Amino acid sequence: MKKNSSNIMALAPNTSNRRETVCIFGTGDFGRALGHKMIQSGYPVVYGSRSTQISNLIPKDAEVLSHAEAAQKAAIIIIAIQRQHYNFLTPLAEVLRGKVLVDISNNLKLNQYPESNAEYLAQLLPGSKVVKAFNTVSAWALQSGTLDASRQVFVCGDDVEAKQMVMNIVRALGLTPLDKGSLLAAQEIENYPLQLFPMWKFPIFLSLGLTAFFFIYCLVLDVIYTYIYEKNNFSFFIAITIPNRVCPVMALILLALVYLPGIFAAIIQLYRGTKYRRFPDWLDKWMLCRKQLGLIALAFASLHVVFTLVTPMRAFVSWRTSKGIISQALNNKTEPLNNTNAWISDSYLALGILGFFLFVLLGITSLPSVSNNVNWREFRFVQSKLGYLALILSTAHTLVYGGKWFLSPSAYKWYLPNIYMLSLVVPCAVLVVKFVLIFPCVDKPLTQIRQGWERNPKHSE
């Protein structure tokens, strides 16, 4: 009888206000928050607890019974208890036979136990149907109603019907269930809330390391060198001048690093003559964090734009401008407009503006809400073709700006090259190799390899 009603619910979850009773084991933070939300959504809730005394923290309208009594009242039992206490469930095996047990538990560390908590629960109670769900939703989010960030609820389990029943409850609570398959996926689901920006670690550490290196490099050449040899105290360069040198350099290098792994992958595939061999681990990991590298590069480019826009407000800049005007007045001579310089300055600004525009476009298309709305070809066009165009424009922007210094001996303070020269090494290398790769004699075999052709097929008939 109970089974039938749950099936009807599965077909029409929102058509009736009469819902099946749900039992929650544990009157802790999560049990109470979930119970409250369920009562709001029209589910009668009964708690199974070690103490049947009703405290004022328990949601009004909920019953509190012993575990065995509460379990008898519902087909679904949510176990809102830490894994280390699961042993107390073993004596209840008979009462729990055939029931759907929802494991919502999390651990304190990644892969803390050899098996997931849900699999452990299933081993303790083989007669019950265990479903993993709700562990990525916090008690705070349930209570405060700010569920937007955690609207997705990952669900997995071996019993399809049990999983459906849990997914219907998830929907009724206003959340979105995401079926992750069998209970084997539980370990992965339990690890989600414990991960700390997994794809961001390498890009962030790399950016911090490179930023620190370039900052110190500029400090040595622009502040310390000038102080020692020219007796000028330019320590205030630390606030805007140096950051405005480091930011564009970082943006350019990181953008090039987005495309460099693709170049390595192409060279490896050409060398091996097949795409059916795994790339080295470091390359796989690098490929997976290209989006993050690109977004950090965009952040640096945006900072460069802001720093550049405030340049006219700087005291040092107004002093330098007025010094030039006064010296012209004292000499009673107006310097003629240098057409070459005007061209250089306008060209590098135009290249920078166009490069930044494409950079922003790349950033926008990498947002899931946008990338989900374009097809694979459109996504590749923006990320690959327009991405390379952004890299070409940004490299040209730097070349036009810094090019005049590259050949001047005064640019080599302490025999060290200017920071802009350093910033061009990786982007130029990427662009040159990419240029070689698009030659038909290289591009043709590469395309064939990517379509499955092998130079030395192992399984030839």
The least distance separating ligand NAP from the CB of residue 85, rounded to whole angstroms, comes to: 4
Closer residue to ligand NAP in complex, CB, 139/446: 139
Q: Closest residue to ligand NAP, Cβ-based?
A: 28
Minimum distance from residue 444 beta carbon to ligand NAP (Å): 54
269, 450 Cβ separation under 8 angstroms: yes
Burial of residue 287, with CB atoms counted within 10 A of its CB: 0-12 exposed, 13-18 middle, 19 or more buried: middle
Contact 168, 9 (CB under 8 A): yes
**In angstroms, what is the minimal distance from the CB of 166 to ligand NAP?**
15
Report in angstroms how near the CB of residue 133 gets to ligand NAP at its nearest: 10
Q: Which of residues 51 and 372 has its CB atom nearest to ligand NAP in the complex?
A: 51
DSSP 269-313: HHHHT-S-SPPPHHHHHHHHTHHHHHHHHHHHHHHHHHHHHTGGG
Kindly state the smallest distance separating residue 125's Cβ from ligand NAP, in Å.
14
What phi-psi label fits residue 427: left (phi over 0), alpha (psi between -120 and 50 degrees) or beta? alpha
Query: Do residues 22 and 76 make contact, with C-beta atoms less than 8 angstroms apart?
Result: yes
Residue type, 386: L
Smallest distance from the beta carbon of 58 to ligand NAP, in angstroms?
A: 9
* Nearest to ligand NAP of 30, 43 (CB atom): 30
Q: Which is nearer to ligand NAP, 135 or 398 (CB)?
A: 135
- Of 286, 289, 269, residue with least CA distance to 277: 269
Q: What is the DSSP letter of 460?
A: -
Q: How far is the CB of 51 from ligand NAP (least distance, A)?
A: 6
Q: Give me 302's structure tokens.
A: 């945006």
Between 133 and 254, whose beta carbon lies closer to ligand NAP?
133
For 131-160, b/e burial (b = at least 16 CB within 10 A) is bbbbbbbbbebbeeeebeebeebbbbbbbe
Closest CA to 272 of 461, 460, 450: 450
What is the nearest approach in angstroms of ligand NAP to the Cβ of residue 143?
Answer: 9
* CB nearer to ligand NAP: pick between 133 and 257: 133
- Two structure tokens written together for 388: 């390379």
Minimum Å distance from CB 88 to ligand NAP?
Answer: 4
Binding residues for ligand NAP, rule: CB under 6 A, are: 26-31, 49-51, 80-82, 85, 88, 104-106, 135, 138-139
Tokens, residue 241: 């001048």
How many Å from the N-terminal Cα to the C-terminal Cα in the chain?
59
In the complex, minimum distance from the CB of residue 190 to ligand NAP, in angstroms, rounded to a whole number: 9
Shortest reach from residue 30's CB to ligand NAP, in Å: 3
**CA–CA gap between residue 263 and residue 270 (Å, rounded):** 11
Considering the complex, state which of residue 186 and residue 400 has its C-beta at the smaller distance from ligand NAP.
186
The residue (of 28 and 273) whose beta carbon lies closer to ligand NAP is: 28
Query: Angle at Cα 438 formed by Cα 437 and Cα 442, nearest 5°?
Result: 55
Which C-beta is closer to ligand NAP: that of 135 or that of 207?
135
Residues 148, 116 contacting (CB under 8 angstroms): no
Question: Which is nearer to ligand NAP, 7 or 90 (by Cβ)?
Answer: 90
Instruction: Please give the structure tokens belonging to residue 274.
Output: 């097949």
Of 62, 8, 75, 67, the closest CA to residue 34 belongs to: 62
Q: How far apart are CA 101 and CA 107, in angstroms?
A: 18
Identity of the residue, 106 or 398, whose beta carbon is nearer to ligand NAP in the bound complex:
106
